[in-house]
Amino acid sequence: MGEQRILQKASLGELFAKLIAGGQRILAPVKSDDRVEFAAVKTPDQIAGDYIQTTTSAKTAVFPRYETMLRFRLKGKDVDVDELTPEAKPTVLFGVHPCDAASFATLKAVFTWDSADAYVEPKLEKTTIIGLSCTKGDAYCFCTSVGGGPGDTRGSDILLTPIDATKYLAEILTDKGRAIVAAAPQLFTPANGEAKEPVLAKIAPRFAADKLAQKLSALFGKTDVWLNQSLRCIGCGACAYACPTCTCFDIQDERQRYGGVRMRCWDACGFGMFTLHASGHNPRAKQSERWRQRIMHKFSYQPERLKVLGCVGCGRCSRACPTDMNLGEHMQSLAETTV
Amino acid sequence: MAEFEPKVVAFVCNWCTYAGADLTGTSRIKYSPNVRMIRLPCTGRIDFMLLLQAFGQGADGVIVSGCHPGDCHYTAGNFHARRRWILFRRLIEFMGIDLRRVHFAWVSAAEGAKWAELVTNVVDEVRKLGPYQSFPKRLDGQPKPVEVA
Amino acid sequence: MPRIGVFICHCGENIAGTVDTAAVAKNAADFPGVVHSIDYKYMCSDPGQNLIKEAIKEKKLTGVVVAACSPRMHEPTFRRACAESGLNPFLCEMANLREHCSWVHEKGEATTEKATDLVRIMVEKVKRNRPLYPISVPVTKTALVLGGGIAGIQAALDIANAGHKVVMVEREASIGGHMAQLSETFPTLDCSQCILTPRMVEVAQHPNITLYTYSELESLEGFIGNFKAVIRKKARSIDETTCTGCGACIQKCPTKKIPSEFNAQLGMRTAIYVPFPQAVPNKPVIDRKNCTFFKNGRCKLCERVCPAKALRYDQEDMLVELNVGAVVAATGYQVKDTDFFPEYGYGAHKDILTGLQFERLASASGPTQGVIKRPSDGQIPETVVFVACAGSRDPAKGINYCSKICCMYTAKHAMLYRHKVHSGKAYIFYMDIRAGGKMYEEFVRRAIEEDHVNYVRGRVSRIYKKNGKLIVKGVDTLLNSRPVEIEADMVVLATAMVAQPDAEALAQKMKVSYDENKFLSEAHPKLRPVEMNTAGIFVAGACQAPKDIPEAVAQASGAASKVIGLFSKDELSREPVVAVVSRMGPPDFSTCIGCFLCESACPYQAIEREEIKARDGRLIKTVAKVNQGVCQGCGTCVALCRSKSIDLQGFTNEQVFAELVTL
Amino acid sequence: MEALQKKARALLEAGTVKVVIGYTAGTDVERARAFFARNAEQTQQLIFDARCCQNLATYLMKPEVKALGKAALVCVPGALRTLMQYAVENQLADETVLALAVTDAGEVVELPKFAAVEEYLAKMPRGLTPEQQQELDRIDKLPLEERWAFWAAELARCVKCYACRAACPLCYCSRCITDVNQPQWVPVASDPLGNLEWNVVRAMHLAGRCVDCGSCADACPEGIRIDLLNHVLAREASAHFGAEPGYSTRKDYALSAYKPDDKEEFIR
C-alpha cells in the first residue's frame, strides 16, 4: 500500500509524451482483430479498452519466445564465438493486470535465484510496470485463489485503478514508480482517501494455494487422479506458452555455412519429447505424468524451493487450451480430493 | 558495386539431368557458374523441405530437374515427384513465395544443351529479381514487439 | 573428429586450364575437418591413385573427396583405390570439377570459386558418410533371350555352350529373323541361309536351350539375378508334340492367297503355314485371321488330312512364368515402309521394290527361285535403278540417322543383279558411300570396277511410269547437278532400318531406356555397349541401333559373355545404396508409425511389413521393412515418409542437408 | 441429448464398450469439452449440441485412452472421416471402435463397422464449402507481395505450441518431423523461418490426407488461419488427382500414386 495520488485519464497522453521523451519504450495492450496483445504505443488512444486478458502474457517483454545467445564461426581449424548482449531498452509496461504484474516476482525468482540470467535480468532491471486493476474477470480467472487479487499491488511499480470514468487512483509503490511520477509530477495530484475496492472485479476464491502446497505431495501417488484430469489433454504447449510464469527453455544451435547461432527457445513440459532421454527412456512417458509435473512444479516444487508460486491465476492457460483444461477448476478439485 | 550474382541450387537426379549436365560438359557448352548442383538418385528422392532449406540457407533460386515422364531410371520416381511438385508449388504460391525463383524441368541425359540453356535462363531471371531478401534466413535476434502506427 | 583428404585433379589441362586447382586445394585445406589437401596432374593415373592410397594410410583419413571428372566416370576407380588401402569405398565421394565446372565455364574467379564450393559440398557430405557393405543376392543361372534372329541365336548358343540354361522367346512361328530372308551376304557373297540354318538347328537341339516360338514377353518383374518373366505362348492351334511337320495340312489348305511375310509380300502362303521351308521348329501355325474355319466356322480340312491328329482349334494363349537371372534383348528391327515417299511410287507400281523384297527375288529359296523377274509381268529387267538412303539421313521426310547397311547391301544387290543378268544395266543413286568395315570398301570398288555398276551421286526426285518404263528423275551432283533421267524396268529402294513398332512398349515392360528413335539405349555409348541401365538386362543386335550381321553377332557374343560373367558366381553383390527403416531399442523400436503410405509409392514393391513382437509374442507394432534385394535405391519412400523414419544409404537426409548448409 | 445419454448408458451397462468418448459442458457457455464417460452415472453429463465441434477421434491415438478399453466415440462428420482415414493408414482395425453419429433430428446412429461409416458418409455433402472456396480465392487474388505479407503477419504470431499438431487426428506420428534433429528439418525457434517451415510441412504432410475437421485452426491459441493451407491443398489434390480423403477405406493416397499423364503446365 504505497502513497496514493490521482491521475486524470485525460493527462495520460502528456505522461506518455514525457516518458517517451525520457527515452522510454511504452508497451501496452493493443487490440488486433479479436485479440489484445502488448505492443509499442505512442499515445493512450492506441490502447485497448475493454478486455480481460492479453492473449500473450507480459513476460514476453523480458523473456521472448526465442533469443539469440551467441554467434559462432568455424575458421579453418578453430571457432570464433561472439556472445550477444541482449538489447535491454528502458521499457514501461503499461496496463499490466495485477496477475501479470505478480508474475514478474516469479520470473525474477527463477532467473536470479543462483546467478543473474544474462538475458532476462537486464531487461527486468530496465522495466517499469504500471499496473491496472481489474474491473472485471471471467470464469477462467482465479487470482484470489493464489494470493492475488484484482487490485493487488504486488509486482507493480505503480498501480492504477479506474475509480471513475475520468480518473485513476494511482498507488506509487516503488522507486521505479516514483521515477515515473518525477517525470511529470504535476500530473499526479494528491488523493483524498478514494477507495478502489468498489470498482474492482469480484473474483471468488476457489481454493487456497498455500494450504494446497503441502497436500500435493500426498496426492503425487494418486495416479488415477492425474489420469482423470489429463484424459482430455492432447499434450500441446499452448498452456505453457500462454503462461506468464512458465520459464522452461531449450538451447538450440542453427547451422549456417561454417557457423551459426546458438539460441534459446521456449519449451513446454507438456511435450512428450520434453524429458526424453538419449537412451530412449522417458521418465514422463504418459501425458498424465506430464500434467502432474506441471501442477507439482507450479504449486509445490517452486513454492518450496524459490518461495514463490508458479501461478498467478490469470487463467490464460485455460483460455488457450484447445481442450478446455481449466486450471482453476482442476486445482479446486485437487483441493477437494481427500488424501 | 559489382552486379548481383545470384546463388542458384539445383536438385537433380543422377540418371538423366546429372548425366545431361555431364553431356553439357563433354559438349563444352558454356553456362553461368552460379549454380550448385545437389545430386540425388531420383527426383522421387527430392523432399520438398530441401527446397525450403536451400532458400533458408540463402539460395536466391532453385532448380529441380529429372528424367522426362516415362524415362525414369526407377520407372516411376519422377511421376511421384511430379505430383509432389504440383501440390507443393501450389501451396507456396498461395503463401506468396515467388515462383519465379522455383523452377522445375525435365532434362534427359541427351539434353546437354537444354541444361545449359535452363541454368542460364534461371540465373538471368533470378539476377533480375535480385537477392531473395524477403525469405527468412537462419535466425539472428529475437522477436520485436509490434509497433503501432 | 573427421579426417578428410581432398585430392584435386588437373585432368591435364581439362580442369587446370580453367580452374586454379592449386587455389582450390589451398582453400580446401582450411575447411573444417580437412587434414590433407593436394592437387595433381592425373588423379586417375597409377601415381595419382597412389597419392590417395598413401595419404589414407599416413594421415589416417576417415573420408576422401576426389575433385576430378564426373562420378559417373571414375567413382568406381577411386572407390576401389580407397578400398585397396583399407578405407571403406563408400567413404569416398567425387566433386565434379570437369563436366560441371571447368568444361562449362570460362576461366576466372567465379569458376574457381565454384570449384571450391563443389569441393566444400562434398567435404560436408563425406563427413557424414557411413561405411557401407555390399548386399549379396542369389543368382538364378538361367538367361532369357528375347528374339530369335542372328543376334539372339548367337547369344543363346554362347550362353548355353558355357553350360547355363537359356530360354529363347521368338514372336514369329520360326526363329531365324531377317537374316533368313537374305540371299547372299556382303562382303563375301556367301549364302545367308547356308550359314544361318545350321545355327537355328543347333538352338533347337541344344540341351540347355528351351525354345518358345510364336511367343512374346508378357511382363518382367524383379531385379538382376532374380527376374520373374511371364511369357505369352500364342495359340498355335497345333499340338507341337504330336505334329510331325509332314506338311500335309499345308498342301490341303484351301486358303492359299495370303501374301507371305517371309517373302516380303512377293509370294503367297496358306492359312496354316510354316514361314519358310527350313523353319525351326518346322511345325505349322494357323493364321486365325485368314483361316476359313476361324472366319466362318466351317472347313477343318487340315484336321482331316493330319495323320498325327495334331490340330487343336480350341487351343488358347498360355502364360508361362519363368525365373531368370539375366535378360538379353535381341528383338531386331523393321524396314521402314515407303509410303512416306509417294513420289517414289512404291505400291503404285509393282516393279518398285524395297531392299528386302529384292533379297527375296535374288534368293534361291525365294518366290522366283532366285531369278530376277519383274513382279508385274515376270520379264527380266534390263535396267534396274537402286536408290540408296530411301528415307535414311532425311530429317525432312524420313529419319535423321544413317541406316548403315544400305550402302553395302545396295552394292550387293547391284552386283547380284549383274551376275544374274549379264546384259542388264544397274544404276545406284547415292548421297555418300559409307563402306567402313573389313573388305567393305573393296567390295564396293568391285561393284563399280568389275561389275560396272553405275553410281550416280544425287538424289532421286520422282519416279513415275511412262509407256511401260519407270522414269527415274534425279540429279547428278558430280556433273554440276545436271538433271538425269533413267528409263528403268525395276527400281529398288534402300529403305531405312527402324526400330520394331512395339520397341517402346517392350522397353517400358523391361524398365530400360530408349532413344528418340525407339532404339534401346545401352548403359554407356562406349564403355558399356551391351549393358542397359537396368542391371541384369543386356542388349544385342539391331534393336539397339542399325547393324550389319558381323556387328550384331559380335555384340551378341559380348552380351553373352556379360551374362556368363554374371552367372559365374552363385551370389552377386549389389551396391548398398538402398533404403533402410529406422530401428532402435525399446520402448519405441522404430519411429515408423506403420501408415504404409510408402508401400504404394515404391516402384519395386520393396517395402514389406514387419511385426515387432514382445518376448511373450504379443504384437507391439507393425513397421515398414525394406527388402534390400529388391530395393533399387530411388528414395521415393524417403521423401514421402513424414516422420523421416526411412532413409537412403549413401544419400541420407543428413548428408543432403549438410550439402545445403555449405551454401 | 437424452437419446445420446440413454444409448451411452446402455452401451456401458451392457459392457459393449468400456468408455463413451463424448462431450460435456465447458468452462463457459460457448465451450464444450471432451468427456470420457466410464460408468452409467457419468453418462448424465454427456451433451451434444452446436458447441460440440472438437474432433474426438484424435483421442483414439492416445495411449492412455487406448488403455481404457473399447470405446464408443461420439462423432461429428469430421471424426467419421477421420475413422476412414485411420483405416486407410493402418492405424485402426475394423470394429475396434463404435462410432456414434447424432443426426440433426437428434437420434443416435450406431456405426460399428467401417463399412457402416462409409455408407453413412456417402449421404453427406463433400468438398470445400462455398465460403471456404471464397476465402481461398480472396487470398489468391491478392498480389504476390500482399499474399506474402498476409502470411508473414499470420505466421509471426505462431509460438510453436504445436496445438495444431496435437489437435489434428492425422498428426499421430510418434516422432514428428519437427522432433528430428539429425538433420534439424525444421528450425526449433518460432522465428520466421521456423514458423514458415513448420506450417508448410504441416500442410504438405496432410495434403491428400486432411479430412477437413477444422480442429487445427480451432486449437490455435493465436487464431492463425492454418486451415486455409489445408484447404488450398485439398482443392488442388481433388482437382488434379480426384483425392477425396475420409470417404472410403480404399488406399489411394494422392502422393503415393500417379498417372503417367498427370497434368501440369510448369515443368519445362
Residue B93, Cβ density class (10 Å: 0-12 exposed, 13-18 middle, ≥19 buried): middle
**Strand, coil or helix: B13:** strand
Only one residue has cell 557457423, namely A259
Residue D189 at interface with chain B, using a CB cutoff of 8 Å: yes
Domain range enclosing C425: 334-498
Round to whole Å and give the CA distance between B131 and B7: 9
> Are B139 and A66 an interchain contact pair (Cβ–Cβ within 8 Å)?
yes
Report the distance separating Cα A313 and Cα A144, nearest Å.
Answer: 7
Decide if A197 contacts A152 (C-beta within 8 A).
Answer: no
CB pair distance less than 8 Å for D196 and B136: yes
Cβ atoms of A130 and A180 closer than 8 Å:
yes
Domain count, chain A: 1
Radius of gyration of chain A (CA): 21
Contact list in B for residue D193 (CB cut-off 8 A) is 56, 136-139
* Nearest-angstrom CA–CA distance, A321 and D259: 43
Q: Cβ separation of D173 and C593 shorter than 8 Å?
A: yes
d(CA C630, CA C607): 9
What number is the average pLDDT over the span C117-141? 94
Residues C467 and C535 in one domain: no
How many CB pairs lie under 8 A apart between chains A and B? 46
pLDDT tens-place string over residues C272-292: 999 999 999 999 999 999 999
The pLDDT tens digits for D55-95 are 999 999 999 999 999 999 999 999 999 999 999 999 999 99
Return d(Cα D186, Cα D192) in angstroms, integer. 11
> Structural domain boundaries of chain D?
2-122, 130-256
Which has the higher per-residue pLDDT, D57 or A259? Answer: D57
User: Which among D153, D161, D206 is positioned nearest to D188, based on CA atoms?
Assistant: D161
| Helical pair C406-420 and C440-449, crossing angle rounded to 10 deg | 40
A279: chain C residues, CB-CB within 8 Å = 585
Taking only residues 212 to 251 of chain D, the set having a beta carbon closer than 8 angstroms to any beta carbon of chain B reads: 228-229, 232-233, 236-237, 240-241
Contacts of B54 in chain C (CB under 8 A): 660, 663
- The residue of chain A nearest to residue C586, with distances taken between CA atoms, is A280
* Predicted local distance difference test score (pLDDT) of residue C222: 83
In this predicted structure, the answer to whether residue B149 has a pLDDT above a threshold of 80 is no
* Cα-based distances in Å from C640 to A188, C602, D185: 66, 10, 14
Q: Quote the minimal CA–CA distance from C67 to chain A in Å.
A: 20
Q: What is the pLDDT of residue B1?
A: 45
Mean pLDDT value across residues C459-468 = 91
A23 touches chain C (CB under 8 A): no
Interface touch A255/B139, C-beta < 8 Å? no
Q: How far apart are CA C211 and CA C215, in angstroms?
A: 10
Distance from chain centroid for Cα C263: 27
- C75 with C163, same domain? no
What cell was used for C58?
599416413
Check if D109 contacts B (Cβ < 8 Å): no
Measured between alpha carbons, how far is D23 from D100 in angstroms, rounded to an integer?
A: 12
Residues C309 and D227: their CA atoms lie apart, in Å, by: 75
Chain D contact for A278, CB < 8 A? Answer: no
Residue C651 touches partner B, C-beta closer than 8 Å: yes
DSSP β-bridge partners for residue D22: D35
Q: Is B147 on the interface with A (CB under 8 A)?
A: yes
Question: For residue A232, what are the domain limits?
Answer: 3-336
Element (H, E) at A48: none
Judge if C492 and C419 occupy the same domain. Answer: yes
**3-state DSSP assignment of residue B136:** coil
Q: Calculate ∠ Cα C23-C25-C28, nearest 5°.
A: 105
Residues A60/A245, Cβ–Cβ less than 8 Å:
no
Same domain as C480, residue C363: yes
Taking residue C400's Cβ as centre, other Cβ atoms within 10 Å add up to 10
Q: Which residue, chain included where needed, has cell 465460403?
A: D131
470420457: which residue's cell? Answer: D36
User: Would you call C639 and B53 a contact, using CB atoms and an 8 Å cutoff?
Assistant: no
Mean pLDDT confidence for C553-560: 97
Final residue belonging to a domain, choices C535, C567, C599 = C567
Determine which of B74, B87, B114 to mutate to test the interface with D (most D C-beta atoms within 10 Å): B87
pLDDT tens digits, A164-200: 999 999 999 999 999 999 999 999 999 988 899 999 9
Q: β-pairing, C63-68 with C92-96?
A: parallel
Sign of CA dihedral C356, C359, C361, C364: negative
Interface test mutation site (partner A, options C119, C660, C661, max chain A beta carbons within 10 A): C661
Q: Flag if D185 and C642 touch (Cβ within 8 Å).
A: no
**C661 and A257: CB-CB below 8 Å?**
yes
| SS3 annotation, C435-454 | CCCCCHHHHHHHHHHCCCCE
Is D215's pLDDT higher than 90?
Answer: yes
Residue D245's pLDDT is 95
Closest Cα of chain C to B146: distance in Å?
31
Rounded CA separation C180/C200 (Å): 10
Residue C433 grid coordinates: 558411300
Residues of A in contact with B142 (CB under 8 A): 64, 66-68, 86
- B148/A261 Cβ within 8 A: no
Contact A154, A98 (CB under 8 A): yes
**Separation between Cα atoms, residue D202 and residue D194, nearest integer Å:** 12
Of B70, B84, B96, which has the smallest distance from its Cβ to D148's Cβ?
B96
Question: Please, are residues C42 and C11 in contact by the beta-carbon 8 Å criterion?
Answer: yes
Chain B residues inside the 8 Å CB shell of D148: 95-97, 134
| Residues contacting A315, CB < 8 A, separation 6+ | A53, A138, A140, A141, A142, A327, A328
Assessment of whether the complete model's pTM goes beyond 0.80:
no
- Counting residues of chain C whose pLDDT is more than 90, the rounded percentage is 84
> Could you tell me whether strands A66-75 and A78-83 are parallel, antiparallel, or unpaired per DSSP bridges?
antiparallel
Chains touching chain A, criterion 3+ CB pairs below 8 Å = B, C, D
Tell me whether D262 touches chain B (CB under 8 Å).
yes
Phi/psi of residue A263, nearest 5 degrees: -135, 160
Average pLDDT over residues C334-362: 87
Q: Max CA-CA distance within chain C?
A: 98
Write the Ramachandran bin of D95: left for phi over 0, alpha for psi from -120 to 50, otherwise beta: left
Map out the domains of chain B as residue ranges. Answer: 18-128
Residues C471-487: pLDDT tens digits?
999 999 998 889 999 99
- For residues C351 and C491, membership in a common domain is answered with yes
CA distance C462 to C482: 15
The verdict on a CB contact (< 8 Å) between A252 and D35 is: no
Q: Does C606 touch chain B (CB under 8 A)?
A: no
Which residue of B lies nearest to C511 if distances are taken between CA atoms? Answer: B75
* Residue C493 falls inside a structural domain: yes
Cβ distance of B80 and D185 shorter than 8 Å: no
The ipTM, to two decimals, is 0.92
State whether A232 and D59 contact (CB < 8 Å): yes
Place of cell 449421404: D123
C-alpha cell at A259: 557457423
Q: Considering CB atoms only, which of B86, B106, B118 is closest to D236? A: B86
User: Could you read off the pLDDT of C583-622 as tens digits, one per residue?
Assistant: 988 888 999 999 999 998 988 778 989 999 988 999 999 9
- Count of residues for chain B? 149
CB-based contact, B136 to chain A, within 8 Å = no
Alpha carbon distance C9, C38 (integer Å) = 9
CB pairs under 8 A between A and D: 110
Q: Are A103 and A298 in contact (CB under 8 A)?
A: no
Indicate the SS3 state at residue D212. Answer: coil
C323 and C193 in a common domain: yes
Distance from CA of D34 to the nearest CA of A (A): 6
Both C469 and C400 in one domain: the answer is: yes
Residues of D with CB below 8 A from A322's CB?
Answer: 54, 163, 166-167, 215, 218-219, 221
Q: Which grid cell sits at C602? A: 515404391
The answer to whether B88 contacts chain C (CB < 8 Å) is: no
Please, what's the largest Cα pairwise distance for chain B? 60
CB contact under 8 A, C103 and B25: yes
The residue in chain B having the minimum alpha-carbon distance to the alpha carbon of residue C112 is B33
Q: Do B75 and C603 touch (CB under 8 A)?
A: yes
C558 and C451 fall within a common domain: no
pLDDT tens digits for range A98-131: 999 999 999 999 999 999 999 999 999 999 999 9
Q: Is the pLDDT at A62 greater than 80, yes or no?
A: yes
Q: Does C510 lie in the same domain as C480?
A: no
Task: Report chain C's mean pLDDT, rounded to a whole number.
Answer: 93
D108 CA: distance to closest CA in chain B (Å): 39
CA separation for the pair C371, C360 (Å, rounded): 10
Find, among D241, D218, D186, A269, the residue nearest to C643 by Cα: D186
Q: Which of A83-87, C116-120, C597-601 has the lowest mean pLDDT?
A: A83-87
Asked whether the beta carbons of C412 and C184 are under 8 A apart, the reply is yes
**Which residue is it, cell 592437387?**
C39
Are C202 and C342 within one domain? no
Is residue C207 included in any domain, yes or no? yes
Q: What is the pLDDT of residues C511-540, one digit of tens each?
A: 787 888 999 988 777 778 999 877 899 999
Using an 8 Å CB-CB cutoff, list chain A residues near C586: 280
Asked whether residue C135 is domain-assigned, the answer is: no
Asked if A66 is an interface residue toward chain C (Cβ–Cβ < 8 A), one would say: no
Please report the pLDDT score of residue A32 as a whole number: 85
- For B25, the closest of C99, C534, C660 (CB atoms) is C99
| 3-class state of residue B134 by DSSP | coil
Angle between helix axes D227-241 and D130-141 (nearest 10 degrees) is 100
Query: Mean pLDDT over all residues of chain D?
Result: 94
pLDDT digits (tens, 9 = 90+) for C21-47: 999 999 999 999 999 999 999 999 999
For the record, the C-alpha cell of C519 comes out as: 532404339
Let me know: does A250 contact D184? Beta carbons within 8 Å.
no
Query: What's the CA gap between D215 and C148, in Å, rounded?
Result: 65
- The number of beta carbons lying within 10 Å of the beta carbon of residue C550 is 14
d(CA C648, CA B74): 14
Indicate whether A36 pLDDT > 70. Answer: yes
User: What proportion of chain C, given as a percentage, has pLDDT over 70?
Assistant: 100
B57 close contact with A: CB closer than 8 A: yes
User: Which CATH number fits the domain that encloses residue C469?
Assistant: 3.50.50.60
The 8-class DSSP code of residue C528 comes to: B
CB environment C69-82: b (16+ within 10 A), e (fewer): bbbbbbbebbbebb
Percent of chain A past pLDDT 90, that is, above it, reads 82
A155 in contact with chain D, both atoms CB, cutoff 8 A = no
Contacts of C624 in chain D (CB under 8 A): none
Chains that touch B (3 or more CB pairs under 8 A): A, C, D
C600 chain-D contacts, CB cut-off 8 A: 251, 253, 256-257
| Of the partner residues B48, B91, B137, the one whose CB lies closest to the CB of residue D193 | B137
